[in-house]
Amino acid sequence: MLFSESFLQTQTGELLMTFLVAMVPVIELRGAIPAGIAAGLSPALACAAAVAGNLVPAPFIILLGRRVMDWLRGAPFFGPKVAWLERRAHLKGRVVRKYRILGLVILVGIPLPGTGAWTGALVASVLDIRMRHALPAIFLGLVIAAAITTAITLGLFNLLI
């Protein structure tokens, strides 16, 4: 066991859990915020931990995404998966191509499946958007997505109580 059960029941443990869950692709902050609030964090702390955790992989994806995809493209197993991922990034990137930085904010800020920091960073990498422009846009999109996700989460919790 990585952490003791008593540690996970502390506020620090709840923050760390929320932070780490937000780093996971697909789950990202859309899963981390409800998990953090359910674990006992205040909505503001759950949002902050989720945004921070979700932002961590973005610079690595922006910097290394192209290189890793180019390297994996030649492998028989990974080649088709890389081609699929690039097609998906280009499809998601239509809004980004049209509106550039605002499009990246919109892509990351809409809390739906297939959007988020991982997808935004991948699109930024594929479209060669510089880090100094992409990271602030991804951060702003995460703040918007966190506000929407928190509002929905609190509304659902109030309906259940």
pLDDT digits (tens, 9 = 90+) for 50-102: 999 999 999 999 999 888 888 888 888 988 988 888 887 777 777 788 888 99
pTM: 0.85
Contacts 24+ apart (CB under 8 A), 62-71: 62/121, 62/124, 62/125, 62/129, 62/131, 62/134, 62/135, 63/125, 63/131, 65/121, 65/122, 65/125, 65/126, 66/125, 66/126
Report whether pLDDT(43) > 90: yes
Encode pLDDT of 113-147 as tens digits.
Answer: 888 999 999 999 988 899 999 999 999 999 999 99
